Chains A and B, each alone.
Chain A
Amino acid sequence: MSSSTPFQTNSKIVKWIEARLPIISTLDGALVSYPAPRNLNYWWNFGSLAGFMLVAQLVTGIVLVMHYTPHVTLAFASVEHIMRDVNYGWLLRYAHANGASMFFVVVYIHILRGLYYGSYKAPRELLWWLGIVIFLLMMATAFMGYVLPWGQMSFWGATVITNLFSAIPGVGTSIVTWLWGGFSVDNATLNRFFSLHYLLPFVICAVVFLHLWALHTTKSSNPLGIEIKGEQDTVPFHPYYTAKDMFGLSVFLLFFAYWVFFDPNYLGHPDNYTEANPLVTPAHIVPEWYFLPFYAILRAVPDKLGGVIAMGGAIVILFFMPYLDFSKVRSAKFRPIYKQAFWLLVIDGLILGYVGSQPAEGIWILVGRIASLYYFAHFLVIVPLISWFEKPLPVPESIAKAVLGDKAHG
Protein backbone atom coordinates (compact mmCIF):
# COMPACT_ATOMS: atom_id res chain seq x y z
CA MET A 1 0.00 0.00 0.00
CA SER A 2 2.28 2.70 -1.24
CA SER A 3 1.37 6.19 -0.30
CA SER A 4 1.42 9.32 -2.39
CA THR A 5 3.45 9.33 -5.57
CA PRO A 6 4.37 12.65 -7.18
CA PHE A 7 2.36 13.72 -10.17
CA GLN A 8 3.47 12.11 -13.44
CA THR A 9 2.03 12.24 -16.92
CA ASN A 10 2.73 11.15 -20.47
CA SER A 11 0.14 13.42 -22.01
CA LYS A 12 1.68 16.10 -24.23
CA ILE A 13 -1.21 18.45 -23.60
CA VAL A 14 -0.93 18.10 -19.83
CA LYS A 15 2.84 18.61 -20.05
CA TRP A 16 2.30 21.74 -22.16
CA ILE A 17 -0.08 23.17 -19.55
CA GLU A 18 2.10 22.13 -16.63
CA ALA A 19 5.13 23.96 -18.05
CA ARG A 20 3.08 27.15 -18.13
CA LEU A 21 0.72 26.81 -15.16
CA PRO A 22 1.22 23.84 -12.82
CA ILE A 23 -2.46 23.69 -11.97
CA ILE A 24 -2.98 20.00 -12.69
CA SER A 25 -0.15 18.84 -10.44
CA THR A 26 -1.35 21.27 -7.76
CA LEU A 27 -4.89 19.83 -7.86
CA ASP A 28 -3.42 16.33 -7.92
CA GLY A 29 -1.35 17.17 -4.86
CA ALA A 30 -4.41 18.51 -3.05
CA LEU A 31 -7.07 15.96 -3.96
CA VAL A 32 -5.41 12.81 -5.31
CA SER A 33 -1.92 12.12 -4.01
CA TYR A 34 -2.25 14.27 -0.86
CA PRO A 35 -0.76 12.05 1.88
CA ALA A 36 -3.48 11.82 4.55
CA PRO A 37 -2.97 10.06 7.90
CA ARG A 38 -4.26 6.50 7.52
CA ASN A 39 -6.26 6.65 10.77
CA LEU A 40 -8.70 9.55 10.12
CA ASN A 41 -12.13 8.77 11.60
CA TYR A 42 -15.55 10.05 10.53
CA TRP A 43 -15.16 13.30 12.47
CA TRP A 44 -12.68 14.23 9.72
CA ASN A 45 -15.50 14.20 7.15
CA PHE A 46 -16.85 17.54 8.28
CA GLY A 47 -14.24 19.69 6.55
CA SER A 48 -15.22 18.45 3.13
CA LEU A 49 -18.90 18.62 4.14
CA ALA A 50 -18.39 22.30 5.00
CA GLY A 51 -16.84 22.80 1.57
CA PHE A 52 -19.83 21.09 0.00
CA MET A 53 -22.26 23.33 1.90
CA LEU A 54 -20.37 26.46 0.81
CA VAL A 55 -20.77 25.44 -2.82
CA ALA A 56 -24.43 24.47 -2.28
CA GLN A 57 -25.17 27.88 -0.71
CA LEU A 58 -23.39 29.69 -3.55
CA VAL A 59 -25.29 27.80 -6.25
CA THR A 60 -28.75 28.13 -4.65
CA GLY A 61 -28.03 31.73 -3.67
CA ILE A 62 -26.99 32.80 -7.15
CA VAL A 63 -30.17 31.41 -8.70
CA LEU A 64 -32.38 32.91 -5.97
CA VAL A 65 -30.98 36.34 -6.82
CA MET A 66 -32.40 35.87 -10.32
CA HIS A 67 -35.87 36.21 -8.77
CA TYR A 68 -35.41 38.28 -5.62
CA THR A 69 -35.89 42.07 -5.41
CA PRO A 70 -33.93 43.96 -2.73
CA HIS A 71 -36.38 46.77 -2.00
CA VAL A 72 -38.46 47.30 1.12
CA THR A 73 -41.71 47.46 -0.85
CA LEU A 74 -40.96 44.39 -2.98
CA ALA A 75 -38.60 42.10 -1.06
CA PHE A 76 -41.22 40.25 0.99
CA ALA A 77 -43.49 39.79 -2.04
CA SER A 78 -40.60 38.64 -4.22
CA VAL A 79 -39.79 35.89 -1.72
CA GLU A 80 -43.43 34.77 -1.84
CA HIS A 81 -43.17 34.96 -5.64
CA ILE A 82 -40.19 32.59 -5.43
CA MET A 83 -42.19 30.25 -3.19
CA ARG A 84 -45.37 30.19 -5.31
CA ASP A 85 -44.58 31.13 -8.90
CA VAL A 86 -40.96 30.40 -9.79
CA ASN A 87 -40.33 26.86 -11.08
CA TYR A 88 -38.83 24.89 -8.19
CA GLY A 89 -38.50 28.21 -6.34
CA TRP A 90 -39.79 26.57 -3.14
CA LEU A 91 -37.05 23.94 -3.41
CA LEU A 92 -34.30 26.46 -4.04
CA ARG A 93 -35.36 28.72 -1.19
CA TYR A 94 -35.89 25.89 1.29
CA ALA A 95 -32.53 24.39 0.29
CA HIS A 96 -30.82 27.77 0.78
CA ALA A 97 -32.52 28.62 4.09
CA ASN A 98 -32.04 25.15 5.58
CA GLY A 99 -28.64 25.00 3.90
CA ALA A 100 -27.48 27.83 6.16
CA SER A 101 -28.46 25.73 9.18
CA MET A 102 -26.76 22.65 7.72
CA PHE A 103 -23.61 24.70 7.07
CA PHE A 104 -23.54 25.71 10.74
CA VAL A 105 -24.23 22.15 11.97
CA VAL A 106 -21.27 20.92 9.94
CA VAL A 107 -18.98 23.78 10.95
CA TYR A 108 -19.82 23.49 14.66
CA ILE A 109 -18.94 19.78 14.55
CA HIS A 110 -15.78 20.64 12.60
CA ILE A 111 -14.76 23.20 15.27
CA LEU A 112 -15.58 20.81 18.12
CA ARG A 113 -13.54 18.08 16.43
CA GLY A 114 -10.62 20.53 16.38
CA LEU A 115 -11.13 21.27 20.09
CA TYR A 116 -11.33 17.56 21.00
CA TYR A 117 -8.30 16.40 19.05
CA GLY A 118 -6.17 19.50 19.71
CA SER A 119 -6.03 20.45 16.04
CA TYR A 120 -5.27 24.05 17.03
CA LYS A 121 -1.85 23.21 18.46
CA ALA A 122 1.49 23.99 16.84
CA PRO A 123 2.17 23.90 13.96
CA ARG A 124 -1.49 24.39 13.02
CA GLU A 125 -2.25 27.72 14.78
CA LEU A 126 -2.68 29.67 11.54
CA LEU A 127 -4.90 26.93 10.15
CA TRP A 128 -7.08 27.23 13.28
CA TRP A 129 -7.18 31.06 13.16
CA LEU A 130 -8.16 31.05 9.49
CA GLY A 131 -10.96 28.66 10.43
CA ILE A 132 -12.26 31.09 13.07
CA VAL A 133 -12.12 33.90 10.50
CA ILE A 134 -14.28 31.75 8.20
CA PHE A 135 -16.68 31.16 11.10
CA LEU A 136 -16.97 34.93 11.73
CA LEU A 137 -17.55 35.60 8.02
CA MET A 138 -20.21 32.88 8.00
CA MET A 139 -21.99 34.53 10.92
CA ALA A 140 -21.99 37.91 9.16
CA THR A 141 -23.21 36.33 5.92
CA ALA A 142 -25.97 34.33 7.61
CA PHE A 143 -27.15 37.35 9.58
CA MET A 144 -27.41 39.56 6.49
CA GLY A 145 -29.06 36.78 4.51
CA TYR A 146 -31.74 36.43 7.17
CA VAL A 147 -32.60 40.13 6.73
CA LEU A 148 -33.30 39.82 2.99
CA PRO A 149 -36.83 38.26 3.13
CA TRP A 150 -37.86 41.43 5.02
CA GLY A 151 -40.11 39.68 7.52
CA GLN A 152 -40.62 40.80 11.11
CA MET A 153 -37.71 38.71 12.42
CA SER A 154 -35.53 39.99 9.56
CA PHE A 155 -36.27 43.58 10.47
CA TRP A 156 -36.02 43.28 14.23
CA GLY A 157 -33.05 40.95 14.11
CA ALA A 158 -31.28 43.54 11.96
CA THR A 159 -32.30 46.30 14.37
CA VAL A 160 -31.08 44.47 17.48
CA ILE A 161 -27.81 43.26 15.97
CA THR A 162 -26.83 46.58 14.35
CA ASN A 163 -27.69 48.31 17.64
CA LEU A 164 -24.95 46.25 19.29
CA PHE A 165 -22.57 48.78 17.78
CA SER A 166 -24.33 51.62 19.63
CA ALA A 167 -22.72 50.23 22.79
CA ILE A 168 -19.36 51.61 21.62
CA PRO A 169 -18.76 54.71 23.75
CA GLY A 170 -18.81 58.07 21.97
CA VAL A 171 -19.09 57.14 18.31
CA GLY A 172 -21.58 54.26 18.68
CA THR A 173 -24.66 56.13 17.45
CA SER A 174 -22.83 57.57 14.44
CA ILE A 175 -21.60 54.11 13.51
CA VAL A 176 -25.12 52.69 13.70
CA THR A 177 -26.50 55.52 11.52
CA TRP A 178 -23.70 54.82 9.06
CA LEU A 179 -24.46 51.08 9.04
CA TRP A 180 -28.15 51.80 8.46
CA GLY A 181 -27.72 54.63 5.95
CA GLY A 182 -30.55 56.39 7.78
CA PHE A 183 -32.15 56.75 11.18
CA SER A 184 -33.56 53.25 11.29
CA VAL A 185 -33.23 49.96 9.43
CA ASP A 186 -34.74 50.83 6.05
CA ASN A 187 -34.28 50.45 2.31
CA ALA A 188 -30.66 51.63 2.36
CA THR A 189 -29.91 48.97 4.97
CA LEU A 190 -31.63 46.22 2.97
CA ASN A 191 -29.72 47.15 -0.17
CA ARG A 192 -26.29 47.13 1.44
CA PHE A 193 -27.00 43.88 3.26
CA PHE A 194 -27.96 42.34 -0.07
CA SER A 195 -24.72 43.60 -1.64
CA LEU A 196 -22.61 42.24 1.22
CA HIS A 197 -24.54 38.99 1.47
CA TYR A 198 -23.58 38.36 -2.14
CA LEU A 199 -19.96 39.45 -1.61
CA LEU A 200 -19.00 37.68 1.62
CA PRO A 201 -19.35 34.07 0.40
CA PHE A 202 -16.64 34.82 -2.16
CA VAL A 203 -14.47 36.26 0.61
CA ILE A 204 -15.14 33.00 2.49
CA CYS A 205 -13.97 31.08 -0.61
CA ALA A 206 -10.73 33.05 -0.54
CA VAL A 207 -10.14 32.33 3.16
CA VAL A 208 -11.07 28.67 2.61
CA PHE A 209 -8.33 28.58 -0.01
CA LEU A 210 -5.84 29.90 2.59
CA HIS A 211 -7.23 27.40 5.14
CA LEU A 212 -6.55 24.52 2.71
CA TRP A 213 -3.15 25.90 1.80
CA ALA A 214 -2.21 25.92 5.49
CA LEU A 215 -3.70 22.42 5.87
CA HIS A 216 -1.65 21.01 3.03
CA THR A 217 1.47 22.63 4.44
CA THR A 218 1.10 21.22 7.96
CA LYS A 219 -0.89 18.15 6.82
CA SER A 220 -4.02 16.89 8.54
CA SER A 221 -3.98 16.17 12.23
CA ASN A 222 -5.48 12.82 13.24
CA PRO A 223 -7.27 11.09 16.14
CA LEU A 224 -3.97 10.09 17.77
CA GLY A 225 -2.64 13.63 17.58
CA ILE A 226 0.85 12.50 16.60
CA GLU A 227 2.63 13.74 13.51
CA ILE A 228 3.11 11.76 10.32
CA LYS A 229 6.56 10.18 10.56
CA GLY A 230 6.79 8.59 7.14
CA GLU A 231 5.04 7.02 4.24
CA GLN A 232 3.82 4.07 6.31
CA ASP A 233 1.62 6.49 8.31
CA THR A 234 -0.33 7.79 5.32
CA VAL A 235 -2.61 6.76 2.50
CA PRO A 236 -3.25 8.83 -0.65
CA PHE A 237 -6.32 11.04 -0.39
CA HIS A 238 -7.76 9.39 -3.50
CA PRO A 239 -9.32 6.84 -3.41
CA TYR A 240 -9.22 6.35 0.37
CA TYR A 241 -10.68 9.61 1.60
CA THR A 242 -12.55 10.61 -1.51
CA ALA A 243 -14.53 7.40 -1.03
CA LYS A 244 -14.95 7.97 2.70
CA ASP A 245 -16.00 11.60 2.14
CA MET A 246 -18.51 10.56 -0.53
CA PHE A 247 -20.08 8.04 1.82
CA GLY A 248 -20.27 10.66 4.59
CA LEU A 249 -21.76 13.14 2.13
CA SER A 250 -24.47 10.64 1.16
CA VAL A 251 -25.50 10.16 4.78
CA PHE A 252 -25.36 13.90 5.40
CA LEU A 253 -27.52 14.59 2.32
CA LEU A 254 -30.24 12.33 3.81
CA PHE A 255 -30.21 14.53 6.91
CA PHE A 256 -30.24 17.74 4.81
CA ALA A 257 -33.07 16.41 2.61
CA TYR A 258 -35.17 15.56 5.68
CA TRP A 259 -35.28 19.23 6.63
CA VAL A 260 -35.80 20.54 3.11
CA PHE A 261 -38.59 18.13 2.18
CA PHE A 262 -40.27 17.19 5.45
CA ASP A 263 -39.83 20.07 7.89
CA PRO A 264 -38.58 23.10 5.93
CA ASN A 265 -39.86 25.71 8.39
CA TYR A 266 -38.97 24.01 11.65
CA LEU A 267 -35.63 25.82 11.95
CA GLY A 268 -37.13 29.20 10.97
CA HIS A 269 -39.54 31.41 12.83
CA PRO A 270 -43.22 31.94 11.95
CA ASP A 271 -42.93 35.70 12.62
CA ASN A 272 -40.76 35.96 9.53
CA TYR A 273 -43.80 35.19 7.37
CA THR A 274 -45.22 38.54 8.53
CA GLU A 275 -43.89 41.47 6.53
CA ALA A 276 -41.52 43.84 8.37
CA ASN A 277 -43.31 46.54 10.37
CA PRO A 278 -41.07 49.26 11.85
CA LEU A 279 -43.75 50.25 14.38
CA VAL A 280 -44.38 46.86 16.01
CA THR A 281 -41.78 44.66 17.68
CA PRO A 282 -42.69 40.96 17.91
CA ALA A 283 -43.26 39.85 21.49
CA HIS A 284 -40.27 37.53 21.57
CA ILE A 285 -37.26 38.17 19.36
CA VAL A 286 -34.94 35.22 18.88
CA PRO A 287 -32.09 34.78 16.43
CA GLU A 288 -31.64 31.65 14.35
CA TRP A 289 -30.65 28.59 16.40
CA TYR A 290 -26.97 28.80 15.45
CA PHE A 291 -26.61 32.17 17.19
CA LEU A 292 -28.52 31.23 20.36
CA PRO A 293 -25.54 30.39 22.62
CA PHE A 294 -23.93 33.74 21.84
CA TYR A 295 -27.26 35.53 22.25
CA ALA A 296 -27.59 33.94 25.70
CA ILE A 297 -24.15 35.30 26.64
CA LEU A 298 -25.16 38.77 25.40
CA ARG A 299 -28.25 38.74 27.59
CA ALA A 300 -26.47 37.25 30.61
CA VAL A 301 -24.59 40.49 31.26
CA PRO A 302 -26.82 43.18 32.82
CA ASP A 303 -24.83 45.96 31.13
CA LYS A 304 -25.15 46.91 27.46
CA LEU A 305 -21.46 47.38 26.60
CA GLY A 306 -20.48 44.50 28.88
CA GLY A 307 -22.91 42.17 27.12
CA VAL A 308 -21.58 43.08 23.70
CA ILE A 309 -17.98 42.58 24.85
CA ALA A 310 -18.83 39.21 26.41
CA MET A 311 -20.54 38.03 23.23
CA GLY A 312 -17.60 39.06 21.04
CA GLY A 313 -15.17 37.66 23.59
CA ALA A 314 -16.89 34.27 23.43
CA ILE A 315 -15.58 33.89 19.88
CA VAL A 316 -12.34 35.85 20.20
CA ILE A 317 -11.29 33.53 23.03
CA LEU A 318 -11.08 30.67 20.51
CA PHE A 319 -8.14 32.45 18.88
CA PHE A 320 -6.15 31.96 22.09
CA MET A 321 -6.72 28.21 22.35
CA PRO A 322 -3.21 27.36 21.07
CA TYR A 323 -1.80 29.20 24.08
CA LEU A 324 -4.45 28.55 26.74
CA ASP A 325 -3.92 24.83 26.22
CA PHE A 326 -0.21 24.16 26.60
CA SER A 327 -0.41 20.41 27.17
CA LYS A 328 2.20 18.58 25.08
CA VAL A 329 -0.37 15.97 24.08
CA ARG A 330 -2.79 16.94 21.31
CA SER A 331 -5.55 14.36 21.28
CA ALA A 332 -8.14 14.13 24.06
CA LYS A 333 -7.90 10.38 23.52
CA PHE A 334 -4.82 10.47 25.77
CA ARG A 335 -6.06 13.26 28.03
CA PRO A 336 -8.56 11.77 30.53
CA ILE A 337 -9.38 15.06 32.28
CA TYR A 338 -9.42 17.32 29.24
CA LYS A 339 -11.79 14.84 27.60
CA GLN A 340 -14.32 15.36 30.41
CA ALA A 341 -13.88 19.14 30.32
CA PHE A 342 -14.52 19.03 26.57
CA TRP A 343 -17.86 17.27 27.00
CA LEU A 344 -18.83 19.65 29.80
CA LEU A 345 -18.17 22.53 27.39
CA VAL A 346 -20.42 20.87 24.80
CA ILE A 347 -23.18 20.50 27.41
CA ASP A 348 -22.63 24.11 28.50
CA GLY A 349 -23.01 25.24 24.88
CA LEU A 350 -26.28 23.30 24.56
CA ILE A 351 -27.58 24.86 27.79
CA LEU A 352 -26.62 28.33 26.54
CA GLY A 353 -28.42 27.59 23.28
CA TYR A 354 -31.57 26.60 25.13
CA VAL A 355 -31.40 29.64 27.42
CA GLY A 356 -30.97 31.87 24.36
CA SER A 357 -34.26 30.56 22.98
CA GLN A 358 -36.18 31.37 26.18
CA PRO A 359 -37.49 34.80 27.28
CA ALA A 360 -34.99 36.70 29.44
CA GLU A 361 -36.88 36.30 32.71
CA GLY A 362 -37.08 34.22 35.86
CA ILE A 363 -34.83 31.19 36.22
CA TRP A 364 -33.39 31.57 32.69
CA ILE A 365 -31.50 34.71 33.69
CA LEU A 366 -29.70 32.81 36.45
CA VAL A 367 -29.06 29.70 34.34
CA GLY A 368 -27.78 31.91 31.50
CA ARG A 369 -25.37 33.71 33.84
CA ILE A 370 -23.97 30.51 35.32
CA ALA A 371 -23.59 28.89 31.89
CA SER A 372 -21.89 32.03 30.49
CA LEU A 373 -19.48 32.15 33.42
CA TYR A 374 -18.72 28.48 32.93
CA TYR A 375 -18.07 29.05 29.22
CA PHE A 376 -15.36 31.60 29.98
CA ALA A 377 -14.05 29.61 32.95
CA HIS A 378 -13.55 26.64 30.64
CA PHE A 379 -11.18 28.56 28.40
CA LEU A 380 -9.51 30.87 30.92
CA VAL A 381 -9.24 28.62 33.98
CA ILE A 382 -10.07 24.98 33.37
CA VAL A 383 -8.10 24.40 30.16
CA PRO A 384 -4.85 26.03 31.41
CA LEU A 385 -5.16 24.24 34.77
CA ILE A 386 -5.68 20.87 33.09
CA SER A 387 -2.68 21.44 30.84
CA TRP A 388 -0.73 22.05 34.02
CA PHE A 389 -1.88 19.19 36.25
CA GLU A 390 -3.08 16.46 33.96
CA LYS A 391 -0.95 13.35 33.50
CA PRO A 392 -1.61 12.21 29.94
CA LEU A 393 -1.75 8.53 28.98
CA PRO A 394 1.18 7.13 26.99
CA VAL A 395 1.06 8.20 23.35
CA PRO A 396 1.81 5.59 20.63
CA GLU A 397 5.12 5.73 18.81
CA SER A 398 3.65 6.16 15.35
CA ILE A 399 0.34 6.12 13.51
CA ALA A 400 1.31 2.93 11.68
CA LYS A 401 2.27 1.14 14.93
CA ALA A 402 -0.97 2.13 16.59
CA VAL A 403 -3.08 1.05 13.64
CA LEU A 404 -1.23 -2.03 12.38
CA GLY A 405 0.53 -3.20 15.53
CA ASP A 406 3.84 -4.98 15.01
CA LYS A 407 3.09 -5.61 11.33
CA ALA A 408 4.22 -2.05 10.68
CA HIS A 409 7.81 -1.55 9.79
CA GLY A 410 9.71 1.59 10.52
Chain B
Amino acid sequence: MATSSSAGHDVHGSGQATRRDFLYVATMGLGAVAAGAVVWPLIDQMNPAADVLALSSIEVDLSKIAEGASLTVKWRGKPVFIRHRTAKEIKEAEEVNLAELRDPESDDQRVKPDHKQWLVMIGVCTHLGCIPLGQQGDYDGWFCPCHGSHYDSSGRIRKGPAPANLAIPDYQFLSDTKVKIG
Protein backbone atom coordinates (compact mmCIF):
# COMPACT_ATOMS: atom_id res chain seq x y z
CA MET B 1 0.00 0.00 0.00
CA ALA B 2 1.19 3.46 -0.89
CA THR B 3 2.17 5.71 1.95
CA SER B 4 1.96 9.03 0.20
CA SER B 5 1.99 11.84 2.68
CA SER B 6 -0.18 14.08 0.50
CA ALA B 7 -3.89 13.43 -0.04
CA GLY B 8 -3.19 9.85 -0.98
CA HIS B 9 -2.72 10.50 -4.72
CA ASP B 10 -0.33 8.32 -6.59
CA VAL B 11 1.69 11.43 -7.34
CA HIS B 12 4.86 9.61 -8.29
CA GLY B 13 3.12 7.57 -10.98
CA SER B 14 4.45 4.38 -9.49
CA GLY B 15 1.43 2.50 -10.86
CA GLN B 16 0.41 1.37 -7.41
CA ALA B 17 -3.22 1.67 -6.38
CA THR B 18 -3.79 4.08 -3.55
CA ARG B 19 -6.38 4.14 -0.85
CA ARG B 20 -8.09 6.94 -2.81
CA ASP B 21 -8.27 4.84 -5.97
CA PHE B 22 -9.98 2.15 -3.96
CA LEU B 23 -12.46 4.65 -2.62
CA TYR B 24 -13.21 5.95 -6.15
CA VAL B 25 -13.80 2.49 -7.53
CA ALA B 26 -15.86 1.42 -4.52
CA THR B 27 -18.00 4.57 -4.72
CA MET B 28 -18.61 4.26 -8.44
CA GLY B 29 -19.35 0.55 -8.13
CA LEU B 30 -21.81 1.10 -5.32
CA GLY B 31 -23.34 4.02 -7.23
CA ALA B 32 -23.87 1.81 -10.28
CA VAL B 33 -25.54 -0.89 -8.17
CA ALA B 34 -27.74 1.72 -6.50
CA ALA B 35 -28.71 3.23 -9.85
CA GLY B 36 -29.63 -0.22 -11.13
CA ALA B 37 -31.66 -0.94 -8.01
CA VAL B 38 -33.58 2.31 -8.50
CA VAL B 39 -34.12 1.86 -12.25
CA TRP B 40 -35.24 -1.78 -12.16
CA PRO B 41 -38.57 -1.21 -10.31
CA LEU B 42 -39.28 1.63 -12.74
CA ILE B 43 -38.82 -0.76 -15.66
CA ASP B 44 -40.37 -3.86 -14.14
CA GLN B 45 -43.58 -2.06 -13.15
CA MET B 46 -44.47 -2.18 -16.83
CA ASN B 47 -44.42 -6.00 -16.93
CA PRO B 48 -47.71 -7.90 -16.43
CA ALA B 49 -49.15 -7.32 -12.95
CA ALA B 50 -50.14 -10.16 -10.58
CA ASP B 51 -53.84 -9.96 -11.49
CA VAL B 52 -53.02 -10.27 -15.18
CA LEU B 53 -50.78 -13.26 -14.51
CA ALA B 54 -53.46 -14.83 -12.30
CA LEU B 55 -55.87 -15.22 -15.22
CA SER B 56 -53.72 -17.99 -16.56
CA SER B 57 -55.98 -20.97 -17.19
CA ILE B 58 -59.52 -21.70 -18.39
CA GLU B 59 -61.55 -24.86 -18.96
CA VAL B 60 -63.61 -25.34 -22.09
CA ASP B 61 -66.42 -27.81 -22.79
CA LEU B 62 -65.99 -29.32 -26.26
CA SER B 63 -69.18 -31.39 -26.41
CA LYS B 64 -71.16 -28.69 -28.25
CA ILE B 65 -68.65 -28.16 -31.07
CA ALA B 66 -69.76 -30.24 -34.03
CA GLU B 67 -67.35 -31.59 -36.62
CA GLY B 68 -66.42 -28.77 -39.01
CA ALA B 69 -67.25 -26.10 -36.44
CA SER B 70 -64.97 -23.86 -34.41
CA LEU B 71 -65.15 -22.04 -31.12
CA THR B 72 -63.17 -18.96 -30.17
CA VAL B 73 -62.51 -18.44 -26.47
CA LYS B 74 -60.65 -15.61 -24.78
CA TRP B 75 -57.56 -16.58 -22.83
CA ARG B 76 -55.09 -14.03 -21.46
CA GLY B 77 -56.82 -11.35 -23.50
CA LYS B 78 -56.26 -13.24 -26.73
CA PRO B 79 -58.53 -15.41 -28.80
CA VAL B 80 -57.89 -19.17 -28.75
CA PHE B 81 -59.27 -21.07 -31.74
CA ILE B 82 -60.67 -24.53 -30.98
CA ARG B 83 -61.39 -26.26 -34.28
CA HIS B 84 -63.17 -29.60 -34.62
CA ARG B 85 -61.46 -30.61 -37.84
CA THR B 86 -63.05 -32.64 -40.59
CA ALA B 87 -61.40 -35.82 -41.88
CA LYS B 88 -60.49 -33.94 -45.06
CA GLU B 89 -58.70 -31.20 -43.13
CA ILE B 90 -56.75 -33.72 -41.05
CA LYS B 91 -55.75 -35.62 -44.19
CA GLU B 92 -54.57 -32.42 -45.92
CA ALA B 93 -52.59 -31.38 -42.87
CA GLU B 94 -50.85 -34.76 -42.59
CA GLU B 95 -49.98 -35.04 -46.27
CA VAL B 96 -47.95 -31.82 -46.48
CA ASN B 97 -44.28 -32.25 -47.33
CA LEU B 98 -42.46 -30.69 -44.35
CA ALA B 99 -39.63 -29.50 -46.57
CA GLU B 100 -42.04 -27.05 -48.18
CA LEU B 101 -42.85 -25.32 -44.90
CA ARG B 102 -41.42 -22.06 -43.67
CA ASP B 103 -41.73 -23.21 -40.05
CA PRO B 104 -41.58 -27.01 -40.38
CA GLU B 105 -43.79 -28.87 -37.91
CA SER B 106 -45.71 -32.07 -38.56
CA ASP B 107 -49.43 -32.14 -37.84
CA ASP B 108 -48.72 -34.65 -35.01
CA GLN B 109 -46.60 -32.06 -33.23
CA ARG B 110 -49.51 -29.62 -33.26
CA VAL B 111 -52.29 -31.80 -31.84
CA LYS B 112 -52.60 -34.26 -28.92
CA PRO B 113 -52.41 -38.00 -29.65
CA ASP B 114 -55.90 -39.58 -29.89
CA HIS B 115 -57.43 -36.13 -30.24
CA LYS B 116 -56.34 -35.35 -33.78
CA GLN B 117 -59.68 -33.85 -34.65
CA TRP B 118 -59.08 -31.05 -32.14
CA LEU B 119 -56.81 -28.21 -33.15
CA VAL B 120 -56.25 -25.74 -30.30
CA MET B 121 -54.16 -22.69 -31.06
CA ILE B 122 -53.75 -19.02 -30.26
CA GLY B 123 -55.64 -17.06 -32.89
CA VAL B 124 -53.11 -14.30 -33.26
CA CYS B 125 -51.27 -13.85 -36.54
CA THR B 126 -47.52 -14.24 -35.95
CA HIS B 127 -46.86 -11.32 -38.26
CA LEU B 128 -48.22 -8.30 -36.42
CA GLY B 129 -50.92 -9.67 -34.15
CA CYS B 130 -54.18 -9.47 -36.08
CA ILE B 131 -56.88 -12.15 -35.77
CA PRO B 132 -56.94 -14.44 -38.81
CA LEU B 133 -60.30 -15.38 -40.32
CA GLY B 134 -61.26 -19.08 -40.19
CA GLN B 135 -61.79 -21.39 -43.18
CA GLN B 136 -60.41 -18.91 -45.64
CA GLY B 137 -57.28 -18.48 -47.66
CA ASP B 138 -55.60 -20.81 -50.14
CA TYR B 139 -54.92 -23.71 -47.75
CA ASP B 140 -58.30 -24.58 -46.22
CA GLY B 141 -57.27 -22.94 -42.97
CA TRP B 142 -56.96 -19.35 -41.83
CA PHE B 143 -56.32 -16.08 -43.61
CA CYS B 144 -55.12 -12.87 -41.97
CA PRO B 145 -56.81 -9.84 -43.55
CA CYS B 146 -54.24 -7.35 -42.34
CA HIS B 147 -51.21 -8.26 -44.41
CA GLY B 148 -52.30 -11.38 -46.26
CA SER B 149 -50.83 -14.39 -44.41
CA HIS B 150 -52.33 -17.81 -45.24
CA TYR B 151 -52.34 -20.66 -42.69
CA ASP B 152 -53.26 -24.26 -43.44
CA SER B 153 -55.65 -26.66 -41.70
CA SER B 154 -52.98 -27.29 -39.05
CA GLY B 155 -52.45 -23.54 -38.49
CA ARG B 156 -49.05 -23.58 -40.19
CA ILE B 157 -47.87 -20.56 -42.15
CA ARG B 158 -47.91 -21.27 -45.88
CA LYS B 159 -47.90 -17.92 -47.65
CA GLY B 160 -47.57 -14.24 -46.76
CA PRO B 161 -45.34 -12.22 -44.43
CA ALA B 162 -45.85 -14.09 -41.12
CA PRO B 163 -42.66 -15.84 -39.97
CA ALA B 164 -44.13 -18.67 -37.85
CA ASN B 165 -47.06 -21.06 -37.42
CA LEU B 166 -49.97 -20.05 -35.20
CA ALA B 167 -48.81 -20.74 -31.64
CA ILE B 168 -50.10 -23.72 -29.67
CA PRO B 169 -50.86 -22.86 -26.03
CA ASP B 170 -50.19 -25.24 -23.15
CA TYR B 171 -53.35 -27.34 -22.80
CA GLN B 172 -54.49 -30.78 -21.76
CA PHE B 173 -57.57 -32.92 -22.15
CA LEU B 174 -59.25 -33.41 -18.77
CA SER B 175 -61.69 -35.78 -20.48
CA ASP B 176 -62.75 -36.42 -24.09
CA THR B 177 -65.00 -33.39 -24.00
CA LYS B 178 -63.20 -31.08 -21.67
CA VAL B 179 -59.95 -29.23 -22.22
CA LYS B 180 -57.92 -27.04 -19.87
CA ILE B 181 -55.97 -24.22 -21.49
CA GLY B 182 -53.04 -22.75 -19.58
Q: List residues of chain A with CB under 8 Å of any chain B CB.
A: 156, 159-160, 162-164, 166, 177-186, 188, 192, 278-285, 299, 302-305, 307, 359-361
Contacts and interface: CB of A to CB of B under 8 A. Distances in A.
Contact of B128 (A163, A177, A280): A163
A188 B49 contact: yes
B46 A160 contact: no
Contacts of B48: 177, 180-183, 188
B46 A181 contact: yes
B76 interface: yes
Nearest to B164: A304
B169 to A, nearest CB: 10
B52 A182 contact: yes
Contacts of A304: 127-128, 161-163
A304 B130 CA distance: 14
Interface string B98-130: 000000000000000000000000001001111
Interface in B35-68: 43, 46-49, 52
Given A178-B47, A285-B145, 9 more contacts: A179-B46, A181-B48, A184-B77, A188-B52, A278-B77, A281-B144, A303-B161, A304-B161, A307-B161
Given A159-B129, A299-B147, A178 B46 contact: yes
A304 B76 CA distance: 24
A92 B177 CA distance: 54
B172 interface: no
B124 to A, nearest CB: 8
B91 interface: no
Interface of B: 43, 46-49, 52, 72, 74, 76-79, 124, 127-131, 144-148, 161-163
A215 to B, nearest CB: 34
Contacts, number: 86
Given A163-B128, A281-B145, A361-B148, A183 B77 contact: yes
Interface residues of chain B: helix, strand, loop or mixed (majority): loop
Contacts of A280: 131
B137 to A, nearest CB: 12
Nearest to A277: B131
Contacts of A162: 129
Q: Which of B46, B74, B144, B163 gathers most chain A CB within 10 Å? A: B46
Nearest to B75: A183
A70 to B, nearest CB: 15
B123 to A, nearest CB: 8
A276 to B, nearest CB: 11
Nearest to B47: A178
B128 A184 contact: no
Contacts of B47: 177-178, 181
Contacts of B131: 279-281
Contacts of B162: 304
A28 B69 CA distance: 74
Q: Which of A156, A180, A281, A299 gathers most chain B CB within 10 Å? A: A281
Contact of B77 (A186, A281, A307, A360): A186
Contacts of A284: 145
A285 B46 contact: no
Contacts of A285: 130, 145-146
